[in-house]
C-alpha cells in the first residue's frame, strides 16, 4: 500500500493530478487544486469519456459555465464529458478543491 503526498506536489497555486503515472491504474484519478485569493480563469472540464466530481475543501469557488454560481466549502458539482466551468477565487484566502474522476460508460482509453 502506498501513500501519495498530493498536497505536497503544489507550491502555491496550481493542480496536481494523481493518476495512472503514480497509481498504475486507469480506473480513476484525483486532482488536488489550489487557487490563490483573487485568482481566476482556471477551466474545470473532464473531457470526452470522463466524469468528474468537484468538491470544495476550503474556501469558495465562483463558477461560470454549465453551472454559474458559487460552490461553497463542502459542496460538490458533477461535470460530464465536455461540460465545463471556469473557476475563480474572489475570496481573501486560498481556496482548495478536489476533483475525483473516472471513465464514463464506454470512455475507457489509454
> Looking at residue 106, what is its pLDDT?
61
d(CA 89, CA 42): 10
Domain 15-103 sits in CATH 3.40.50.360: no
Are 74 and 56 spatial neighbours (Cβ–Cβ below 8 Å)? yes
DSSP symbol at 38: T
**pLDDT reading at 14 higher than 50:** yes
For residue 108, pLDDT beyond 70: no
d(CA 8, CA 80): 28
In the predicted structure, residue 26 carries a pLDDT above the cut 70: yes
Find the mean pLDDT for residues 40-54.
95
In the chain, where the domains are located: 15-103
pTM to 2 decimals?
A: 0.88
Amino acid at each position: 500500500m502506498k501513500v501519495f503526498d498530493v498536497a505536497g506536489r503544489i507550491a502555491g497555486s496550481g493542480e496536481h493530478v494523481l493518476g495512472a503515472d503514480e497509481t498504475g491504474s486507469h480506473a480513476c484519478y484525483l486532482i488536488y487544486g489550489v487557487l490563490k485569493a483573487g485568482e481566476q480563469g482556471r477551466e474545470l472540464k473532464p473531457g470526452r469519456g470522463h466524469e468528474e466530481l468537484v468538491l470544495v475543501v476550503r474556501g469558495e469557488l465562483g463558477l461560470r459555465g454549465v453551472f454559474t454560481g458559487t460552490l461553497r466549502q463542502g459542496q460538490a458539482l458533477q461535470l460530464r464529458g465536455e461540460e465545463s466551468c471556469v473557476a475563480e477565487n474572489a475570496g481573501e484566502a486560498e481556496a482548495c478543491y478536489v476533483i475525483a474522476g473516472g471513465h464514463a460508460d464506454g470512455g475507457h482509453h489509454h
